[in-house]
Amino acid sequence: MRFGFTEDQLLFQSTLRDFLAKECPPATIRALWESETGHDAALWTKLSALGVPGLLVPEAHDGLGRDEIDLALLLEEAGRAALCGPIVSTAAIGAPLLAEIPAPALRERWLPRVASGEARIAVGLPGLRFVSDAGDATLLLLPHADEVHALAPDAVQLVREPASDPARRIFTVSFTASSATRVAAGEDARRALATAFDRAALAAAAQAIGVADRLVDMTCAYARERRQFDVPIGSFQAVKHMLAGVSVRLEYARPAVHRAAWSVARGLAARSTHVSHAKLAATAAARLAARVALQVHGAIGYTWEQDLHLWLRRAWSLDLDAGGEGHHRARVANAVLADGARVGPGETFAGEA
Amino acid sequence: MRFGFTEDQLLFQSTLRDFLAKECPPATIRALWESETGHDAALWTKLSALGVPGLLVPEAHDGLGRDEIDLALLLEEAGRAALCGPIVSTAAIGAPLLAEIPAPALRERWLPRVASGEARIAVGLPGLRFVSDAGDATLLLLPHADEVHALAPDAVQLVREPASDPARRIFTVSFTASSATRVAAGEDARRALATAFDRAALAAAAQAIGVADRLVDMTCAYARERRQFDVPIGSFQAVKHMLAGVSVRLEYARPAVHRAAWSVARGLAARSTHVSHAKLAATAAARLAARVALQVHGAIGYTWEQDLHLWLRRAWSLDLDAGGEGHHRARVANAVLADGARVGPGETFAGEA
Amino acid sequence: MDLSYTDAQQRFRAEARTWLSANVPHAPLPSFDTREGFEAHRAWERKLNAGGWAMVSWPREYGGRGANLLEWLVFEEEYYRAGAPKRVNQNGLFLLGPTIMEYGTPEQRARFLPKIASSDEVWCQGWSEPNAGSDMAAIQATAIRDGDRYVINGQKTWASRGAFAHWTFGMFRTDPASERHRGLTFVLVPLDAKGVTVRPIAQLDGETGFAEIFFDDVSVPVANRLGDEGKGWNVAMATAGFERGLMLRSPARFQHTAARLVGLYRENEATCDPALRDEVVACWMDAEAYALETYRTVSRLLGGGKIGAEASLNKIFWSELDLRMHETALRILGDRADLLAEAPSATGTDDWLDGWLFSLSGPIYAGTNEIQRNVIAERILGLPRS
Amino acid sequence: MDLSYTDAQQRFRAEARTWLSANVPHAPLPSFDTREGFEAHRAWERKLNAGGWAMVSWPREYGGRGANLLEWLVFEEEYYRAGAPKRVNQNGLFLLGPTIMEYGTPEQRARFLPKIASSDEVWCQGWSEPNAGSDMAAIQATAIRDGDRYVINGQKTWASRGAFAHWTFGMFRTDPASERHRGLTFVLVPLDAKGVTVRPIAQLDGETGFAEIFFDDVSVPVANRLGDEGKGWNVAMATAGFERGLMLRSPARFQHTAARLVGLYRENEATCDPALRDEVVACWMDAEAYALETYRTVSRLLGGGKIGAEASLNKIFWSELDLRMHETALRILGDRADLLAEAPSATGTDDWLDGWLFSLSGPIYAGTNEIQRNVIAERILGLPRS
């Protein structure tokens, strides 16, 4: 029992943090917003050199062969940089889904190209209306009935759905399913899609933690600098207590996300409950952080030119990705209120054995 | 259109306030707590001299013949004094129910005795488990199927249900209904009981306003006096903003209670919706006031000897009287979400014509 | 207590309803934070004024119809019920107008009020400065007396509608040696004056909702001063009272939103989170409470009362309510909540997204809610200053 | 990251479970804020200590079993799971004990710790004074050195369990000329000493949960001082860290409440407000989050980390959670929520009412949550002092 990361994992995280601080400043995010595809080939090449796209790709396919615990750290850093796009759709969802479905030829063909940064995968998930990052994907994995279908970009019809968060590139996707496009069916497909959904929700949760961290940091920095009534506004108890309230919710969301990552990595039975808890807690913390950040910044935070809204928009839109509050709350409720549910002290890690 | 009280009504209210401040100080409330019946004959005699028990009794039966608007003002003052008992069960609920049911002989016999202070009425309400103040009533009006039955104290079995708020004198009541005890049936009984329920909920709401007012006053006084860190604690923004938050909820609950009183007095179709809104808003404001009052007082407020808890207990228990949050929320929801519900601007007073 | 309308009030309502139903544009106007939308909204204001409905509570000589505040509430109800356009000149109509009525000379009233009513002159407020936000007494922009003129220098910011407005009103330091709220004077400045530079600022929604205004030796006649020299703080506080208080945010606005929210919930009830039912109902009750409290206040004012620090209660209540209603609407919309209007799947999402973005500014503008809580604590509850 | 228990930890859990299941009293003990209940709880503590379970993380020589903090968490889980009694000597076990371990001399450890473990000596804290609540540095009670003794005068208040406890620990001003947090010394005082008067104070629930303690020329040996003279603030801060931090409120306590809340909801699901379902689930998640964060903290401490200002985060989180869980339970109980245990209709209401009344004190004791928010803002977030 050790609830914490290895030196190696922490080094991986700080390397990413430094890399993104340097290579992915707000100006880059704004350029991605303005771009046609929301994807920056140069940045992706550099991320690929770090192994990011292939983080969850088995080493046999030229990936790093890491698990969802490393993934959570990666995505916290992505959130901290307000970066999304293929770092989520490909590295966090597409690659591991591809690795899981029983289609060896497909894996052989695509996984090395994911790891090299050459291919980007967009994934449709059961129950979700939109597909993220479909506009720039080289491969689409899409659900149809209880099957998974693999499609080339020219075999699908995409309709872009512009959103308030320009980083959220979502599409309505239609395609003709056939036996030629089917790559998994039945229980295999159901299991793979369910795990992919959990990974998507975990990805949103982990990003939300990074987003909330960054919002707190930016807002504290502003509150230390900005003076009114001849003192820094951060010396007012109203400001202090709002920010302290964010910290409380954030610091108790963080371990829920890390635990969910562990549960997905180990394929635990309670995985979905843990993921839903993590998503609810992390996106709620991020939303609260956004609310307080904007209130403390005041009018300056309400402008397009100030960078704050890069993270505000992420905090708001992560909540909408990979299942909303109601869906995740119902998943936890169904588990916790079920007959024979084991919910008391000593049960938290009882399923790990 | 005039949303406010007459000079006469305001004088009535301030007279009551002065009277209760003098005749019903915390020591009296504590004595009522300790007493067998929760009823103080001497105080009741003085209140009777002011006309309180017969406030809603028609003048023809020696009452003041006033309506629920005056009643709301009376009960705000009762709340401010932490006084309940027959001022609620008899004056607010029992007397007007008696006046409404089509049983002239019963009215002739009891209403003058209510007005004189000689009789006290306890009322059972449909859907409610307990009957308040039954232990000291001279007459009980109890629902049975869709009928109202009138019973003498010796014809009912009472089981006292001790509650955390010693001012809340509640009983489980059982009795044998017969044609001899029946005083109303069918639509008459249903309508009378429904109005009685609304009056009971209005009574709780009006008391809650008075309770919240008093809690805010006491807490502000304490925050001005109590010093920590060499300044009055009321100068800390944390304390200020908590109390300001209470004020906001309280000042927007108050007019909802006054409007509900008007609607009950006029028997408007939307009466029940207005009463439920009033009860929800007023008890929520009182609960918030209690929460903040205790937090600002700190440990001293957590003692039995400090008077604060006289009002804390009222704030907590009024929420439980006359239908809980879920019941009242459902009543409003059913009205607002109904087909053809008129809910937009210009509809607030559309039903008064 | 009498919560029924008089026959005269009913007739007034009927008249307003009839006129609005005949005249309100069928299609929504473009946003008034674009040049095109700004002019479309001015055209609507001119039509409204021609019908005598621009500001019903003003005297007839200034373009009103001499209605009392209750009738004004009734008019607002009909206005929102009709789905009529937003008021592009709200700063002129609801803030500056009442201030000129109270502090202006007869000449100023005659000069300015009719053009406010007609929106021939659209106003923005010029109060905030980069270093004077919540701390408005930290104003640094100066208006130095030079004979019968003031020469203005400095910078104002967060002027809503500033990008297209014709005039601004604000406080300037006429006594450069003064500190805090002393030595300030309320001055009206035409934005086409020499030395004025307006820099539009893009908002969260991408539109240029507000502007910075730079003053470089801008000369205005002393006749543009409202109230006495050095007494600008008092004049501004009266204006702020109007803003936070009655006029800027009439209950009808929020009741209209609440009714739309009820409709949205009913449309999506089968698919949305069931917990939202309680939220929708709570929002409706709060909108209703805001109306009730406003009728109470208006009754008090008609009886000779004054509006005071309790305007701070209003500000907090409506701004939190507006935010909560829009948040609830977005939660009902679920994964479609942040679709822009042009998104193919945005049918039925109406303008909830834009409304929500705007509602986020509610707890900030017109004095942050933190400042309002200080006011409530100190001026209503009598708690000591820090 | 490894979230599975070792075999040794599993065996430890099994051993604790077996012992507790054989020894935990079948019927609840009377409240430890009555004389009878106090002694019944002491008897239970003696049994616990005889089994070696009083304080598993202490060294064996002081009555513990040398377990590490992870095992302590496991023990707490089993303790609450078994429904075992509240810890009457929690101030001694969880606050003073660790402080003596850190600041005490070998003699003090040998003298005090075993009697804490056995509850032969039950402790109350003597920190607050009438004028030193949130502002603990305003302490006025004095302990004046006289040779090898301190002579103590003054008053302490809000001493939980003070009515029946044997000893108190607290800060006293040893330098009468000193101000604020300087010149304070941490002293242990037997409550049967000459000159000590204990006045029980009745709480909201009517029980004498706390007491005032008056000191009138009370003489104690210098050996009763913990840490250096004048350094009491540092010693006390360490104690406060234990209180707010790990020990006083182990996650099992709240997970036990959350599990009971889940059960209560399931029993009443058919009749209670459906909105409560979400509340119950939210409470369960927060209790789970508190456990997760505690395991994370313990892992960090076992790796050599220290507990610092983040203890203030804990304090806020568990106190708000505890309140919310009990409020939710009362809302489930509806009109039976405030029935006393002796009420005929109180079946199935368990002790939720008492638990709720106690939970109300959570945001107040151990440093108000307002003080904790200041600590978080200043020491974790780096915001400037006021």
Residue located via tokens 């009030």? C9
Query: Does the pLDDT of residue A245 top 90, yes or no?
Result: yes
Q: Are C4 and B352 in contact (CB under 8 A)?
A: yes
CB-based contact, D385 to chain C, within 8 Å: no
Phi, psi of C217 (to 5 degrees): 50, 50
Catalytic residue among D76, D243, D279, D310: D243
Query: Does the pLDDT of residue A353 top 70, yes or no?
Result: no
Residue A242 CA to residue A233 CA, distance in Å, equals 12
CB-based contact, B245 to chain D, within 8 Å: no
For C273, nearest residue in chain D (alpha carbons): D278
Catalytic residue among C77, C243, C279, C310: C243
Among B109, B93, B104, which residue's Cα sits nearest to residue B184?
A: B104
How far are the Cα atoms of A57, B179, B192, B275 from residue B125, in angstroms, in the given order?
A: 68, 19, 10, 16
Residue A328 CA to residue A256 CA, distance in Å, equals 14
Residue C229 CA to residue D301 CA, distance in Å, equals 66
The rounded percent of chain C whose pLDDT value lies above 70 is: 98
| Best B283, B304, B308, B319 residue to mutate vs chain D (most D CBs within 10 Å) | B304
Q: Are A2 and D70 in contact (CB under 8 A)?
A: no
Residue C222 CA to residue C146 CA, distance in Å, equals 9
Q: In 3-state terms, chain B is what percent helix, strand and coil (to 5)?
A: 60, 10, 30
Query: What topology is assigned to C7-88 in CATH?
Result: Butyryl-Coa Dehydrogenase, subunit A; domain 1 (1.10.540)
Residue D4 CA to residue D7 CA, distance in Å, equals 9
Give CA D104 to chain center in angstroms: 20
Handedness of CA C55, C56, C61, C66 (dihedral sign): negative
Q: Does the active-site annotation cover C279?
A: no
SS3 for A330?
A: helix
* pLDDT for res A39: 87
* pLDDT for res C141: 97
Q: Are D375 and A243 in contact (CB under 8 A)?
A: no
Contacts of D70 (CB under 8 A, 6+ apart): A1, D9, D295, D298, D299, D302
Contacts of C306 (CB under 8 A, 6+ apart): none
Q: Are B39 and B32 in contact (CB under 8 A)?
A: yes
What is the average pLDDT across B153-162? 97
Residue D40 CA to residue D24 CA, distance in Å, equals 12
**Angle C145-C147-C149 (CA atoms, 0-180°, nearest 5)?**
60
| Best C342, C370, C371, C375 residue to mutate vs chain A (most A CBs within 10 Å) | C370
**pLDDT grade for B86, boundaries at 50, 70 and 90:** very high
* pLDDT for res B66: 96
- Which residues face D189 on adjacent strands? D168
How far are the Cα atoms of A32, A135, A163 from residue A157, in angstroms, in the given order?
A: 23, 10, 19
Max Cα–Cα distance, chain A, nearest Å: 72
Contacts of A307 (CB under 8 A, 6+ apart): A26, A218
To the nearest whole angstrom, how far is the Cα of D179 from the nearest Cα of chain A?
24
CB-based contact, C278 to chain D, within 8 Å: yes
Contacts of B129 (CB under 8 A, 6+ apart): B172, D335, D336, D345
DSSP state of D364: T
Q: Are B352 and B271 in contact (CB under 8 A)?
A: no
- Buried b / exposed e over C48-65, threshold 16 CB at 10 Å, is bbeeebbbbbbeeebbbb
Query: Does the pLDDT of residue A352 top 90, yes or no?
Result: no
Query: Does the pLDDT of residue C243 top 70, yes or no?
Result: no
Give CA C98 to chain center in angstroms: 12
Q: Which residues in chain D have Cβ-Cβ distances shorter than 8 Å to A247?
A: 313, 376, 380-381
Where exactly are the structural domains of chain C?
Answer: 7-88, 123-230, 249-380
What is the average pLDDT across A280-300? 98
**pLDDT grade for A351, boundaries at 50, 70 and 90:** confident
D249-380: CATH number:
1.20.140.10
Q: Which amino acid is at D44?
A: W
Note the ipTM here.
0.97
Residue located via tokens 């001119």? C46
Name the residue facing A352 among D3, D259, D313 (closest C-beta): D3
Q: What is the pLDDT of residues B102-139, one digit of tens each?
A: 999 999 999 999 999 999 999 999 999 999 999 999 99
To the nearest whole angstrom, how far is the Cα of A321 from the nearest Cα of chain C?
7
Tell me how many residue pairs between chain A and chain C have CB atoms under 8 A apart. 102
Q: Which residues in chain A have Cβ-Cβ distances shorter than 8 Å to B241?
A: 237-238
How far are the Cα atoms of A170, A195, A210, A314, A318 from residue A84, in angstroms, in the given order?
A: 12, 20, 12, 9, 10
Q: Do domains D7-88 and D249-380 have the same CATH topology?
A: no
Query: Does the pLDDT of residue A104 top 90, yes or no?
Result: yes
Give CA B117 to chain center in angstroms: 19
Q: What is the pLDDT of residues B313-337, one digit of tens each?
A: 999 999 999 999 999 999 999 999 9
Query: Does the pLDDT of residue C23 top 80, yes or no?
Result: yes
Tens-digit pLDDT string for chain D (386 aa): 999 999 999 999 999 999 999 999 999 999 999 999 999 999 999 999 999 999 999 999 999 999 999 999 999 999 999 999 999 999 999 999 999 999 999 999 999 999 999 999 999 999 999 999 999 999 999 999 999 999 999 999 999 999 999 999 999 999 999 999 999 999 999 999 999 999 999 999 888 889 999 999 999 999 999 999 999 999 988 877 766 667 778 999 999 999 999 999 999 999 999 999 999 999 999 999 999 999 999 999 999 888 888 889 999 999 999 999 999 999 999 999 999 999 999 999 999 999 999 999 999 998 999 999 999 999 999 999 98
Q: Are A214 and A311 in contact (CB under 8 A)?
A: yes
Q: Which residues in chain D have Cβ-Cβ distances shorter than 8 Å to A347?
A: 255
The rounded percent of chain B whose pLDDT value lies above 90 is: 97
**Domains recognised in chain B with CATH numbers:** 188-336 (1.20.140.10)
Residue B237 CA to residue C178 CA, distance in Å, equals 28
Q: What is the pLDDT of residues C53-80, one digit of tens each?
A: 999 999 999 999 999 999 999 999 999 9
The rounded percent of chain C whose pLDDT value lies above 90 is: 91
Handedness of CA A213, A216, A222, A224 (dihedral sign): negative
How far are the Cα atoms of A219, B69, D28, D318 from residue D169, in angstroms, in the given order?
A: 41, 57, 29, 25
Q: Do A2 and D2 touch (CB under 8 A)?
A: yes
Q: How many CB atoms lie within 10 A of CB D252?
A: 25
Q: Which amino acid is at D56?
A: V
Of the CATH numbers 2.40.110.10, 1.10.10.1100, 3.30.70.1250, 2.30.33.40, which one belongs to the domain with range C123-230? 2.40.110.10
Q: Which residues in chain B have Cβ-Cβ distances shorter than 8 Å to A238?
A: 237-238, 241
Max Cα–Cα distance, chain D, nearest Å: 71
Residue located via tokens 């937090």? B295
Q: Which residues in chain B have Cβ-Cβ distances shorter than 8 Å to A241?
A: 237-238
The helix (H) or strand (E) run that includes residue C187 is strand C184-190
Among A256, A212, A205, which residue's Cα sits nearest to residue A92?
A: A205
How far are the Cα atoms of A123, A124, A135, C344, D331 from residue A130, in angstroms, in the given order?
A: 10, 7, 12, 12, 39
- Of chain B residues 210-249, which have a CB less than 8 A from chain A? 236-238, 241
Q: Are C16 and B349 in contact (CB under 8 A)?
A: no
DSSP state of D141: -
Phi, psi of B238 (to 5 degrees): -60, -45
* pLDDT for res C242: 66
CB-based contact, B304 to chain D, within 8 Å: yes
Q: Which ranges in chain A belong to alpha helices (H)?
A: 7-23, 26-34, 41-49, 68-80, 86-88, 95-100, 104-116, 186-225, 237-266, 271-297, 308-318, 325-336
* pLDDT for res B39: 87
Q: What is the pLDDT of residues A17-76, one digit of tens each?
A: 999 999 999 999 999 999 988 889 999 999 999 999 999 999 999 999 999 999 999 999
Are β-strands B147-151 and B139-144 bridged in parallel, bridged antiparallel, or unpaired?
antiparallel
Query: Does the pLDDT of residue B353 top 80, yes or no?
Result: no
Q: Which residues in chain D have Cβ-Cβ distances shorter than 8 Å to C278?
A: 275
Residue C152 CA to residue C146 CA, distance in Å, equals 10
- Quick one: A116 exposed, middle or buried, by C-beta within 10 A (0-12, 13-18, 19+)? middle
SS3 for D362?
A: coil
The helix (H) or strand (E) run that includes residue B206 is helix B186-225
Q: Do D317 and A252 touch (CB under 8 A)?
A: yes
Are β-strands D225-226 and D184-190 bridged in parallel, bridged antiparallel, or unpaired?
antiparallel
Q: Are A95 and A56 in contact (CB under 8 A)?
A: yes
* pLDDT for res B118: 96
**pLDDT grade for C244, boundaries at 50, 70 and 90:** low
Contacts of A109 (CB under 8 A, 6+ apart): none
Residue A143 CA to residue A177 CA, distance in Å, equals 9
CB-based contact, D46 to chain A, within 8 Å: no
CB-based contact, B163 to chain D, within 8 Å: yes
**pLDDT grade for A128, boundaries at 50, 70 and 90:** very high
- What is chain C's mean pLDDT, rounded? 95
Query: Does the pLDDT of residue A313 top 80, yes or no?
Result: yes
* pLDDT for res C308: 83
Q: Are C313 and C376 in contact (CB under 8 A)?
A: yes
- What is chain A's mean pLDDT, rounded? 96
Q: Do B241 and A236 touch (CB under 8 A)?
A: no
Provide the phi-psi class of B170: left if phi over 0, else alpha when psi is between -120 and 50, else beta: beta
